[in-house]
Amino acid sequence: MLAKYLKNNNIEVSTLLGGRSSGDIVEVEDFERFGKVFITTEDGSTGFKGLVTQHPEFEDIGFKLREIYSCGPEPMLRAVAIEAFRQNIECEVSLENTMACGIGACLCCIVETKHGNQCVCTAGPVFNINELTGWDAFKVSGENCPV
């Protein structure tokens, strides 16, 4: 839906899809309807061998991209955030914290933000990386990167 919205508003879309192997790469044709698609797999079974953030298209993305929208496991999101901070690009991440109730009652999905603790299920799941406490520690370097 986001890619469709962006394309309909004449914004160029590039999609980087990553997974452990080719079986993890899904819906390529859907994304191709809205722009370029770049694929990475950790085992090299399809596309570029490596992580999404190691794809050549991800190098110097500041020259090409104005904003990054990312979803997936948190270590990957943090690696994307490092690149976004490094290249001063706006970035939003869709967090996948464990959720039980989905209505803000059980508090099992809490994330620390600069506005206090927030429930990912009701306040998110999408957050700007600048709002997430501790994520801006990656602004200077990737030394603390968990991946």
Query: CA-based Rg of the chain, rounded to a whole angstrom?
Result: 16
Identify the bridge partners of residue 113 per DSSP, sorted by sequence position.
116, 132
* Residue 121 binds to ligand FES (criterion: CB under 6 A): yes
* Residue 119 binds to ligand FES (criterion: CB under 6 A): yes
Strand pairing report for 13-19 and 35-41: parallel
Q: Which is nearer to ligand FES, 79 or 120 (CB)?
A: 120
* Residue 109 binds to ligand FES (criterion: CB under 6 A): yes
- Local structure of 118: helix, strand or coil: strand
* Residue 107 binds to ligand FES (criterion: CB under 6 A): yes
Q: State in angstroms the smallest separation of the CB of 102 from ligand FES.
A: 5
Q: Are 90 and 126 in contact (CB under 8 A)?
A: no
Binding site for ligand FES (CB under 6 A): 99-102, 104-109, 119, 121
